[in-house]
Amino acid sequence: MGVVNVTPDSFSDGGQWLEPEVAIAHARHMLDQGADILDIGGESTRPGAARVPEAVELERVMPVVTALVGDGARVSVDTMRATVAEQALDAGAWCINDVSGGLADPAMVDLVAERGCEYVVNHWRGPSDVMNEMATYDDVVADVHRELMERVEALTAAGVDESRIILDPGLGFAKDAHANWQLLAGLDTLLGTGFRVLVGASRKRFLGDLLARDGVPLLPMYRDRATAAVSALAAARGVWAVRVHDVPGSVDAVRVATAWRAAEAELRQGSTTIGTGEIA
């Protein structure tokens, strides 16, 4: 999943793709590089970010969505607003990636149920400007699992098809670096639910902290190799998709992980065959 931030203030590439024609060209380049899905967002959700008016979000997002859908691309829209989601779906968007999991706008749940679109449920405890105050957990893996399952229950009770739900542990959303690493190490807990899992670690602060030099976090633009490493490990665990800013590195990482998993499956089958007395 290639990230296209049509914003002036995203932490990783703020302003770089703000103009619609530039964002469209960038997204098309991502497709050429191997992206399967394009995730278009018109509102930054970095820690401390303030909401933008609905009209501004629509003005940023809709020209890009319309053009890419017209190209035949599989488009996801990163929004917490049901009104923006509705217009994007009307334009042919395939998925709504809601970082609030339906908590920011109660109308989102009914819209997703009615439209039957793919829906990413991100773990979220509150708006970007206050979420860092909510980063307290007893057991972050168990707590995130429980809170996501509560959202799933609310969604299915409202009529959302379980097969359309995708879970995202919400790395960086009300979570410090230690919590992010714990969630990655505990991915099997979410994978065990049977739902598809999306991992969005790309260029995030916890990677910059890991790679800090002389106490200074590595800048977002230099975190792509670390992102690709996370992509490989997440894909090897069996996640459905990784959401990234730099496509080629993670495309290669996913291919490596896929080959690795295939080889492991072959070895397991070979062990079974040996146990039956046949030649492996």
Say whether 204 is catalytic. yes
Give the containing element (helix H, strand E) for 167: strand 165-168
Is there a catalytic annotation at residue 243?
yes
Q: How far apart are CA 253 and CA 231, in angstroms?
A: 6
Structure token digits, residue 85: 């989601």
The residue assigned the tokens 């492991």 is 264
Q: Which residues contact 162 (CB under 8 A, 6 or more apart)?
A: 152, 156, 195
What is the number of other CB atoms lying within 10 angstroms of the CB of residue 148?
25
Q: Alpha-carbon distance 270 to 210, whole Å?
A: 39
Q: Coil, strand, or helix at residue 135?
A: coil
Instruction: Write the secondary structure of 78-128 as one string of H (helix), E (strand) and C (coil).
Output: ECCCHHHHHHHHHCCCCEEEECCCCCCCCHHHHHHHHHCCEEEEECCCCCC
Question: 3-state DSSP call for residue 153?
Answer: helix
Q: What is the token pair recorded at 72?
A: 């035949």
Q: Which of 175, 204, 205, 223 is catalytic?
A: 204
Smallest CA-to-CA distance from 13 within 206, 220, 263 is with: 220
Provide the annotated active-site residues: 204, 243
